[in-house]
């Protein structure tokens, strides 16, 4: 049976969209911000030889650098000012959120509400600057170690690279916050989404060219396309899956002859509460050490521990896959624990008189919700790991571009679904506002 939201969505029409002025402003703002981001991925860093850089990227694009290039929307291959993309901000967010579980100061700030959240966000920004500066310096040193890539190596080039790439990341962080506040959807996720989608046509054309040259068989390409469609359908199915807990409200006598209450509702628990965050966080943490190691190892002549890190954490290697799955599972549970508090939910139910049939209100209800949430999170974590890893294994052995991998498909589909849900929410609000205005006009005429 269709839910109320689905029934309302079926009744939406283009006239409702045309009357939603606030929604149209938000959509235009989002599109304009994403256009600014895409333009920035084509502005090159100063002091780079583009011909030598293109040759270097062609040789290393099948490794971790190719994955980093996917998240940056092709900016790494062009060594643009947005080459670091938003990954330092995501890494800083991971570190700060992990610190909230061990630092009493941060934990106290988290409980202070909006004011505490602003302070934590400020710490995250400081961490973003530090991580971006370290990564940018590592990239500058690595580029200097490559033959003919840097026009004039030296301290000035390193300083300009750190300032340029760090400034680009901070601008993207600010742009993402503006999209979240004044646009549609989550700004950070939409920036990653735009980078992946913008490079899809080029990746598809490159794959067809490999087929024309005989490097890839037609059967393999068709198999990858079928796999991509099947993964998308599977993602949509699971992302809509919910475990609904029955909530009952007792009857109350408000007057001598009138009773209220007695209704029942549901507490929906998504199968994948963490959404697209686990693979993004996992990829970000795996990119953090290998970004510097991949360049610095070649500068050191391919010896030492940097070479070992680059080799064993290469995309598609067993160690990379094991760490990737482990990080996805960890962040699935970690982020679920952050965004959903069973104790708080149980207290709210108790406050308004709601209860789960057969479960005592209060701590027992919190324990039961936590028990159910843990069980479905196990399934959700396994689903994310399966979607992200199985296509990656096939792609690593078939040399198909990363854009057809499970991680990119999960990000694209999940972000699309979340954005569409927000668009529908604004359309519902516009419809209700229209109904209220009509009711007021009828009341005045009477």
Sorted by where each starts, the structural domains of the chain and their CATH numbers stand as 1-22+194-446 (1.10.3370.10), 41-183 (no CATH)
CB under 8 A, 24+ apart: contacts of 334-338 = 334/97, 334/98, 335/273, 335/274, 335/275, 335/277, 335/278, 335/281, 336/273, 336/274, 336/373, 336/377, 336/380, 338/97
pLDDT tens column, 366-401: 889 889 999 999 999 999 888 888 777 766 666 665
Q: What confidence score (pLDDT) does residue 260 get?
A: 59
Q: What confidence score (pLDDT) does residue 4 get?
A: 41
What is the block-wise mean pLDDT of the chain (446 residues), using blocks of 10 residues?
46 61 86 92 86 75 61 77 86 82 80 81 91 87 79 87 92 92 87 83 75 75 80 85 83 59 77 83 72 54 59 72 88 85 84 82 87 91 86 66 67 84 78 64 63
Residue 234 to residue 30: CA distance in whole angstroms = 28
What are 265's two structure tokens? 């509702």
Q: Are 44 and 80 in contact (CB under 8 A)?
A: yes
State CA 4 to chain mean position distance.
28
Bridge partner residues of 259 (DSSP): 253
pLDDT tens column, 190-206: 888 888 888 777 777 77
pTM as predicted: 0.76
The residues, ordered by sequence, that sit 6+ positions from 369 with a Cβ below 8 Å of its Cβ are 245, 267, 269, 342, 345, 346, 356
């Amino acid at each position: 049976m269709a839910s109320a939201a689905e029934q309302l969505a079926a009744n939406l029409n283009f006239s409702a969209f045309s009357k939603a002025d606030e929604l149209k402003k938000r959509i235009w703002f989002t599109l304009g911000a994403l256009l600014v981001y895409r333009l920035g991925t084509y502005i090159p860093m100063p002091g780079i030889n583009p011909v030598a850089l293109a040759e270097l990227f062609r040789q290393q694009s099948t490794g971790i650098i190719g994955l980093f290039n996917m998240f940056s929307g092709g900016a790494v291959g062009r060594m643009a000012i947005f080459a670091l993309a938003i990954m330092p901000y995501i890494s800083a967010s991971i570190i700060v959120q992990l610190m909230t579980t061990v630092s009493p100061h941060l934990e106290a700030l988290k409980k202070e509400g909006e004011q505490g959240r602003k302070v934590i966000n400020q710490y995250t920004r400081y961490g973003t600057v530090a991580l971006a500066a370290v990564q940018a310096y590592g990239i500058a040193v690595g580029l200097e170690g490559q033959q003919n890539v840097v026009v004039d190596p030296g301290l000035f080039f390193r300083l300009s690279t750190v300032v340029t790439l760090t400034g680009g990341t901070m601008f993207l962080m600010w742009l993402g916050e503006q999209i979240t506040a004044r646009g549609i959807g989550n700004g950070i996720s939409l920036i990653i989404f735009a980078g992946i989608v913008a490079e899809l046509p080029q990746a598809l054309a490159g794959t067809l060219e490999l087929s024309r040259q005989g490097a890839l068989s037609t059967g393999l390409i068709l198999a990858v396309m079928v796999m991509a469609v099947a993964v998308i359908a599977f993602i949509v199915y699971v992302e809509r899956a919910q475990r609904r807990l029955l909530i009952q409200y007792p009857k109350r006598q408000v007057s001598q002859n009138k009773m209220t209450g007695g209704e029942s509702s549901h507490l929906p628990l998504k199968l994948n509460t963490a959404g697209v965050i686990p693979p993004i966080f996992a990829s970000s943490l795996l990119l953090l050490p290998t970004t510097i190691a991949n360049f610095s190892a070649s500068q050191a002549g391919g010896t030492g521990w940097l070479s070992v890190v680059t080799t064993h954490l290469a995309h598609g290697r067993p160690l990379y896959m094991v760490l990737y799955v482990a990080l996805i599972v960890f962040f699935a549970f970690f982020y679920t624990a952050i965004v959903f508090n069973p104790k708080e939910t149980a207290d709210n139910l108790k406050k308004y008189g709601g209860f789960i049939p057969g479960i005592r209100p209060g701590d027992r209800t919190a324990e039961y919700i936590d028990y159910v949430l843990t069980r479905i999170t196990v399934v959700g974590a396994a689903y994310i790991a399966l979607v992200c890893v199985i296509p990656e294994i096939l792609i690593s052995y078939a040399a198909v571009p990363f854009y057809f991998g499970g991680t990119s498909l999960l990000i694209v589909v999940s972000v699309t679904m979340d954005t569409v849900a927000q668009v529908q929410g604004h359309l519902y609000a516009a419809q209700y506002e229209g109904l209220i205005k009509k009711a007021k006009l009828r009341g005045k005429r009477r």
